[in-house]
Structure formats: structure tokens, C-alpha cells
């Protein structure tokens, strides 16, 4: 078996792309999208018609509402290919707006349901700010399942688990980027700070019985992926899926509920004040969270400008 086939024995593989052909090629169970991936996709000739149609069919709506319909259109097409769930992101500019995020989550689910898609096949992606986590808690209670993204630290993860969100996406590669730039050294395998962060989160969740799924995300190389074999899910770009498929190097399970019980982690109570001070104390997590929100927001603005240019 190649590495991708071996990995599928331990972990649910998710495609991190808006490219339908890539999803077909690697047969993942789930798929994730974000504004940056959709922006990248609609600049390809084969996906331009989806943008043109969204603008044409909803000309009377705001650019933001047209983006929602474009995201759902991509989600619908992806769900025709995969057997599982698609993740669709809320506007990153709502990252500190609890009520706005709740409203956007409900709006996206209504669009899916109007298209005949069961809400169980959709995860609403929300930034792992305190406000975003609170919004996800409300959405989950209403039966709208969430994927908490831009997650870089244990306190963010614990707050999500205590809010009983469906799934979190800790970002391996962006943590790696920060430490590589900060220290001036490279990291591989188990020494990678991004890998260590996801292992810590996974072990904490399984040791203390949280049901929230852990999905490693934002990978820079296959070494990071292989080191997290056994994580609940891993969302992987088409480029790295291809590299895994081309390698027959052995893959062994690194994470499991059994090994999590052996960890020395202690459980702690996390209120808003503790969350904020712990996140503030973590320079990497604070900087990468802010940067991620800025980048996703900027790509949403670019999409809006593309739509306005087509009107």
C-alpha cells in the first residue's frame, strides 16, 4: 500500500480544496473549503462559470450574500463527489461578532437545506476566538454542527471541547512557520511544534473524554501528516495527497485513545478570563490567529470585488 492507503487505516482523510477534480482523484470522506480556496478556484477557467452564474442568478443581493451562495454552490458540488461532510466558512470579518456569526451560520444552513442537503452533511467553519466559540456553542445546540478553525493552542481547543462543538481544525503548518521563522531552525517529525500541538490536543481530548473531533490541518510536508497518523481526521491539500500516494514508505499509528491515557496532562477549568490570558501569553497563537483572520478577511474582500466587477 502507498502512504495514503496506509494512513486511511488509522485516520479519516479529508481533502483541503475547492477543486472538484482533485477531490475525485483522492476519494476522501470529507472536504474542507475556505474563502482563500474558493477565491483560488474561481480564478481557474473551469470554475469561472460558477461565479458568473452566482452573480447572474442573484444580481439583486449584496456581494456578501452572493458569496454565501457561491460557497454553498461549491459545497453542493463537492457533496456530489464525497460520501461525508463539507465544511463551509463564515465571513472572517465576523470573528469577534457572536450574534453575527450565529446569524451567518443559520443562513448558510438554510441555503443548503433549500438545495436539498441534509444539515448533517455540513460543518460551519468559525474562527476559534472567544466570540466564535460562543457562537458555535449556540449553533450546536440548534443542531448546526461546527468546525472551529484558525486554532493554534490548547486553551482554544479546550474552550471548543467544553462548548461541545463537533470538530476542531488545529493548524499544524502555520505553527511550524512561526517557530521556524522565530528560531531560525527547521523542524522535522516528532520535533515539529505544529505536530506537538495537535498531539497535545488529541491526548487531552481523549484522556478526559471530550467528544469533539480533532482534525489536523494546514500541512507543509508529508512528515507532519505521517507523524499524526491516528488523529481523528487530517485535512490535506491535493499536492500533499499526491505525494502520499506516490510513496510506499511505512506509516505507523502515532495517536490512539489508549496512548492518550498515558499522557501526563492535567485537566483545568477554562473561563473567559483564563482563556484570554492564556492565549495572550502564547505569542505564536495570538499572532497566527490575528494573521489568519486578516488573510481570510482580505480574500473575502477580493471575492466581493470580483463579484462587483461582474455586475
Asked if pLDDT for residue 251 goes beyond 90, the answer is: yes
- What would you report as the CA-atom Rg of the chain, rounded to the nearest whole angstrom? 19
Active site residues: 125
pLDDT one-digit tens code per residue, 140-173? 999 999 999 999 999 999 999 999 999 999 999 9
Name residue 171's beta-bridge partners. 217
Kindly indicate the confidence band of residue 35, based on its pLDDT and cuts at 50, 70 and 90. Answer: confident
Asked if pLDDT for residue 270 goes beyond 90, the answer is: yes
| Mean pLDDT score, 213-237 | 97
As a whole number of angstroms, the distance between CA 72 and CA 69 comes to: 5
Q: CA dist 217 to 31, 105, 283, 302, Å?
A: 12, 21, 20, 24
Q: Is the dihedral of CA 136, 138, 140, 143 positive or negative?
A: negative
Closest CA to 173 of 237, 242, 253, 232: 237
The whole-model pTM stands at 0.96
Name residue 236's beta-bridge partners. 15
Q: Domains in the chain and their CATH numbers?
A: 3-310 (3.20.20.70)
DSSP run (H or E) holding 235 = strand 233-236
First to last CA, the chain: 50
SS3 of 104, please? helix
Amino acid at each position: 500500500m502507498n502512504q495514503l492507503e496506509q494512513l486511511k487505516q488509522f485516520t479519516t482523510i479529508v481533502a483541503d480544496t475547492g477543486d472538484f477534480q482533485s477531490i475525485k482523484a483522492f476519494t476522501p470522506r470529507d472536504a474542507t473549503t475556505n474563502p482563500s480556496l474558493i477565491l483560488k478556484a474561481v480564478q481557474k477557467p473551469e470554475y469561472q462559470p460558477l461565479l458568473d452564474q452566482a452573480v447572474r442568478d442573484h444580481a439583486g443581493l449584496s456581494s456578501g450574500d452572493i458569496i454565501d451562495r457561491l460557497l454553498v454552490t461549491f459545497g453542493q458540488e463537492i457533496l456530489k463527489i464525497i460520501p461525508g461532510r463539507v465544511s463551509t466558512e463564515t465571513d472572517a470579518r465576523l470573528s469577534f461578532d457572536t450574534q453575527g456569526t450565529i446569524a451567518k451560520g443559520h443562513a448558510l444552513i438554510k441555503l443548503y437545506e433549500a438545495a436539498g442537503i441534509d444539515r448533517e452533511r455540513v460543518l460551519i467553519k468559525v474562527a476559534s476566538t472567544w466570540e466564535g466559540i460562543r457562537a458555535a456553542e449556540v449553533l450546536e445546540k440548534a443542531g448546526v454542527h461546527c468546525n472551529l478553525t484558525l486554532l493554534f493552542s490548547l486553551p482554544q481547543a479546550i474552550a471548543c471541547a467544553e462548548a461541545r462543538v463537533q470538530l476542531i481544525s488545529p493548524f499544524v503548518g502555520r505553527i511550524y512557520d512561526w517557530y521556524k521563522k522565530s528560531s531560525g531552525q527547521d523542524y522535522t517529525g516528532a520535533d515539529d511544534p505544529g505536530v506537538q500541538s495537535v498531539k497535545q490536543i488529541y491526548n487531552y481530548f481523549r484522556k478526559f473524554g471530550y467528544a469533539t473531533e480533532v482534525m489536523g490541518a494546514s500541512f507543509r510536508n508529508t512528515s507532519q501528516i505521517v507523524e499524526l497518523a491516528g488523529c481523528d481526521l487530517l485535512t490535506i491539500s491535493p499536492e500533499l495527497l499526491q505525494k502520499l500516494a506516490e510513496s510506499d514508505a511505512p506509516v505507523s499509528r502515532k495517536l490512539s485513545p489508549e496512548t492518550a491515557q498515558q499522557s501526563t496532562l492535567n485537566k483545568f477549568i477554562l473561563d473567559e478570563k483564563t482563556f484570554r490570558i492564556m492565549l495572550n501569553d502564547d505569542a505564536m497563537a495570538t499572532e497566527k490567529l490575528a494573521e489568519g483572520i486578516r488573510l481570510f478577511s482580505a480574500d473575502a474582500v477580493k471575492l466581493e470585488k470580483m463579484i462587483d466587477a461582474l455586475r
